[in-house]
Structure 1
């Protein structure tokens, strides 16, 4: 009972806090996932991102003026870089959807330091009431394609399940304000990043479907267990492992995930 009350207190405090993220709200593509988890008595989300494509500048302090660049141009670039600062870097561009080549070109025109182009997939941190709840959510994540997911237990007993993937992308584009890549290469990077974003959204959809199925299955078992003795709990758990909706998601998704992973890997191992 003490653990139950402590979890409820943690959940209330977390969900009542102001969202201090850069966007200030939950990303549209994962609002359904966040709502389902926060409506459950077993979970609540602590942070999330549906996935994003970003162009960041490592900082204008590293910039060395080119002999061909006048002072006015330099000051203009520095001013642009300082528009949005986060963790000693400038965000020149960010989107949670697919991007265009012009987005990168425009961002590079505003750069004055070391620019990096990144794709970051869906990530979700969920605090769980019990370890078994975290294990169920972990199974859902792994079988949905988020195979870098994991569970951590803090000193105060906080159980956090992190939904993570490995199909990231991080490529340097400029050094001290000087672009290092060609226009054709930028176009290629945009194509690769957009393919990864499409696959990311597919995995999010699978995660939501498997999550709904697993939680519904678990709720049915919890309801039925109220009318039986304690010894039936073992049988219920045994049946859950044998006839789990997560396994159903696994059988229906394994072939698709295998094909998609192979497709992304062909010719793109350099970026993962």
Structure 2
């Protein structure tokens, strides 16, 4: 089986498998992004979360607390209320921790160039902790991640350690992070639409080098079409698709510059 058919088989198996997440379905606020990515032959999502605020009750005296050993006192993918946190915290019998976990999205990519493009889009949308990994079987995974997390302990062995005023402050901070998280998801969706285009800019991922030539020609042509003020003059027959194509090539070029991820 050739590489293309192998990728298609992986995608089919992944998208048809049962969702074993706690919710059992894709979160509403990231559903459009997931559907858009999965509509392209070069990508498919393997996991996703739109971001959440959780209150977890861990096992006391456990150095490395794993989520499967915890009690979920509260979980929401929207903003939360102080009273809900306080009420849930009173049920704690261990070491309760309030967390805000931002959006995370894992996408398997057909080629490394596909992952580079998606990585540039994610970074430009504000997900600056994104990265690419390559597995032993050649699976290329692009992880969309950001760093604006929150994690604060609130109780120890069932004893609440903080005041309600402080909980009110933490809830406001978590809700602000959730709002910013949703804005970044919106930017990610718009950046994906601009970079991939209605037809994934057709063959730019397949024939990148040959696609670059007409782009540079169009650039030089516009450089020549200048008026007396030094500003470029855009001709009426310039199409939006050409601008989108240049944007995609720029993103690919940026991702290949050493250190560009941290900019």
TM-score (norm 2): 0.77
Residues 62 and 110 of structure 1: CA distance in aligned 2, closer, same or farther (over 3 Å): farther
- 2:58 corresponds to: 58
8 A contact 1:174–1:180 mirrored in 2: yes
8 A contact 1:210–1:246 mirrored in 2: no
Q: 1:232 aligned to 195, 205, 210, which one?
A: 210
1:219 is paired with a residue whose SS is: coil
Q: Does 1:30 align with 2:30?
A: yes
1:233 shift after superposition:
3.8
Residues in 1 aligned to 2:42 and 2:177: alpha-carbon distance in whole angstroms: 31
Residues in 1 aligned to 2:209 and 2:196: alpha-carbon distance in whole angstroms: 22
Residues in 2 aligned to 1:246 and 1:106: alpha-carbon distance in whole angstroms: 52
When you count helix as a share of all residues, which structure comes out higher?
1
Per-residue CA deviation, residues 162-187 of structure 1 (Å, 9 max, x unaligned), is 00000000000000000011111000
- 2:203 corresponds to: 222
8 A contact 1:127–1:159 mirrored in 2: yes
1:118-267 mapped onto 2 (5 Å cutoff): 118-216=99-197, 219-222=200-203, 232-235=210-213, 243-244=246-247
8 A contact 1:221–1:236 mirrored in 2: no
8 A contact 2:104–2:144 mirrored in 1: yes
Residues 177 and 20 of structure 1: CA distance in aligned 2, closer, same or farther (over 3 Å): same
Residues 123 and 246 of structure 1: CA distance in aligned 2, closer, same or farther (over 3 Å): farther
- 1:14 corresponds to: 14
Residues in 1 aligned to 2:136 and 2:80: alpha-carbon distance in whole angstroms: 42
1:217 shift after superposition:
7.3
TM-score (norm 1): 0.75
1:221 shift after superposition:
4.8
Q: Please identify runs of 4+ aligned residues in structure 1 that moved more than 4 A.
A: 236-242, 245-248
Stretches of structure 2 that go unaligned for 5 or more consecutive residues are 220-242, 252-263
- 1:45 corresponds to: 45
2:115 is paired with a residue whose SS is: helix
1:26 shift after superposition:
0.1
Q: Does 1:105 align with 2:86?
A: yes
Q: 1:91 aligned to 47, 64, 72, which one?
A: 72
Q: What is the RMSD of the two structures over their aligned residues, measured on CA atoms?
A: 2.7
Matched residue pairs, number? Answer: 222
- 1:74 corresponds to: none
